[in-house]
Structure 1
């Protein structure tokens, strides 16, 4: 798999757009070709969602294609009635803006951000530490525009030189960073990653005791000296009451399995912090509930159910992080859309139903080392992911549940996108998946030891630490926010230009 084809992927559409005139009939002709192109691109890229829910691919394709069409048809409209430079600025800023909306809106679907396409070529995008993935989107669009312009004027050396530079210079700059970047000498943390290999569909309805024994057996395989032990998202079966993770029948005391895990740490790994996923419940009195809280079945209180990362040490102390970027339709149901469209629920993993939402990334601290316990889908959001780092994480611990889509490109793509997060924030990653792909990723995005599909086991590595903040970590998606403003100015300029044309003030 390669993302390099993205650098020429828009050229055919730009060529078709240029072949049409400015009539309404031509506009609809371009609309048809663009719709066909984007539907095929989306459907062929995310077909694997079918394994989780048959309605998933059509729903995701519809949402993503709509965003793509807004950006491209706005460009096409401007290109027929205004200067070419304005049209190209509109295309670039509109596309980046609509991608940005994927990451901040209620209907969030960031899988197909163009910059994510280079997750297998991290050597070419080391400058993501300054721009994030939206810099990759900018690279794709500029390269396509300049290559298209060169093809239109095939004898123009200047245009071909510009096109070549647009492709080559970012790669050269990246390779320079690739060769010169050095991991800060801040020591390492010995991290063990566990992959339990439990079927996702049996996980929430299967034998709880069997799952607990599986975890206990794997914990026994963790080598001595481990400082951090990772289990996947929702690894511990059942739901527990916060703050002490009590069973429902023993409020105030840790649940029996949490006590067993504590005892296991105390006897085998007294210096380790166990990071694992679990379902947790937080209760509220009437009047203090959150927007996502549900009413108690008995009584007048409310409660939230969270997809939670738990940090547990050998003394029984707990640290909690609530998942803050939720899977659309499964964990997060925007009421303004899904009250009328519940049949479009997309099953992409996690726990089912509207659940509570964390506000930001949280750093777990253990023996002077901080780590960011990102949960699955949170690894798709560069700026949100940076919240863990801004709060002190020296390496990242991603826990996930990847098996919903079977042995398809889905879990592989989710793992590879983590490589981009490593580059953006220069944090090494230890990743534990239920099944799919667990392993280690360096701060340059290099992949270390891994466990593959349906492999059960434990792997251990020395993970380098880093406390320095990259430009992107500090300022987040500033490129996308700037694009929003430039797009607004471009649209206003276009409206003023057309107004003057109608009044014969522009010749």
Structure 2
């Protein structure tokens, strides 16, 4: 046991090696207050302009990805026509200044639906639509790909059995965003850019808590975890630090590097050993760049998920049941 502990400690202390297959990432931390500024103090255009100016301030000719936080674009984007949204042109002009670079950014999105569900909303023209908390990647060729958050936070983002308990949506907890029941997508999705070898797992906020779900991105050949989040509503409590620790666990479990962009912090780069290589201070408006390796490693856990944990739980139950039965038998013999 001692040798195992010393070996594990040596892995955590070891400095990661940057291989040749690495790309420069720019991580943006706009530090926009989710209560005082995001939905009242700063306009959507001003917020996007702030993010792009921060990105531009640290960009180099080698920068290939700009990573901005969850729900950075607060005016919802219709998924079938993202190029018609007011944010598209400023982003297109920004990327034109940085040839070959892509922007990964969080946004609220709407999608039209032919058949409404219990959580669909009706537009003024009588049509129906769903709300999503999404990650969008704006590619160098002008295309936009969209992934919808699929592990929702109970309270602010979803109400259990929303179709039956739709009236409970009025009690949703407002933590600085659009309140109600969001819609997910069926499975994890990886963002690949034709300009380079990166295949990003766009993990949105609360999704980083789920190790097995993160493994789904790896099974779809993701070679880097890009976590975007808005932890500002935690304030200065320990919540934002606990959330950060989950990102470190995901790096260890999957053997992948993590690029984490948090609205108010902590934004950071995490190595596959779980070590934070570079990070920002919480509550500071800043940005930085880092050359991040792309890892093709696929750990046993990322391939199998929580089967070991489930098996251990089953064995624990069976052993406990056996001990209980033996105790009952022994008592009867007395």
TM-score range, shorter chain: 0.7 to 0.9
Q: Corresponding residue for 2:137?
A: 311
- Pick closer, same or farther for the CA change 1:454–1:383 going to 2, 3 Å: same
Q: Corresponding residue for 1:332?
A: 158
Q: Does 1:172 align with 2:6?
A: yes
Instruction: Decide which structure has greater strand share.
Output: 2
Q: Corresponding residue for 2:24?
A: 190
TM-fit CA distance, 1:490:
4.5
C-alpha distance in 2 between matches for 1:399 and 1:405: 15
TM-fit CA distance, 1:273:
1.1
Post-superposition CA distance 1:82-128 (Å, at most 9, x none): xxxxxxxxxxxxxxxxxxxxxxxxxxxxxxxxxxxxxxxxxxxxxxx
Answer yes or no: is the 8 Å Cα contact 2:16–2:271 preserved in 1: no
Q: Corresponding residue for 1:243?
A: 80
C-alpha distance in 1 between matches for 2:14 and 2:242: 27
* Aligned pairs for 1:272-421 within 5 A: 272-286=101-115, 289-290=116-117, 292-299=119-126, 301-335=127-161, 345=172, 351-366=178-193, 367=195, 368-421=197-250
SS in 1 for 2:246: helix
Return the TM-score normalized by structure 1.
Answer: 0.59
SS in 2 for 1:219: helix
Instruction: Decide which structure has greater helix share.
Output: 1
Q: Corresponding residue for 1:219?
A: 55
Answer yes or no: is the 8 Å Cα contact 1:423–1:444 preserved in 2: yes
C-alpha distance in 2 between matches for 1:424 and 1:281: 33
SS in 2 for 1:282: strand
Asked which structure has the greater CA Rg, the reply is 1
Post-superposition CA distance 1:253-292 (Å, at most 9, x none): 42122122012101x1120110000000111112xx4564
C-alpha distance in 1 between matches for 2:150 and 2:176: 15
TM-fit CA distance, 1:441:
1.1
- Aligned to 1:423, which of 247, 252, 260? 252
Provide the aligned C-alpha RMSD in A: 2.8
- Pick closer, same or farther for the CA change 1:293–1:410 going to 2, 3 Å: same
TM-fit CA distance, 1:298:
4.0
Q: Does 1:205 align with 2:40?
A: yes
Answer yes or no: is the 8 Å Cα contact 2:172–2:180 preserved in 1: no
Post-superposition CA distance 1:30-84 (Å, at most 9, x none): xxxxxxxxxxxxxxxxxxxxxxxxxxxxxxxxxxxxxxxxxxxxxxxxxxxxxxx
SS in 1 for 2:200: strand
- Aligned to 1:463, which of 286, 289, 292? 292
Q: Does 1:473 align with 2:302?
A: yes
User: Which stretch of structure 1 is more off in the superposition, 338-347 or 481-490?
Assistant: 338-347
Size of the aligned set, in residue pairs, is: 328
Q: Please list every run of 5 or more consecutive structure 1 residues that lacks an aligned counterpart in the other structure.
A: 1-164, 246-252
- Aligned to 1:257, which of 87, 91, 99? 87
C-alpha distance in 2 between matches for 1:351 and 1:173: 47
C-alpha distance in 2 between matches for 1:340 and 1:501: 55
TM-fit CA distance, 1:363:
1.1
- Pick closer, same or farther for the CA change 1:394–1:290 going to 2, 3 Å: farther
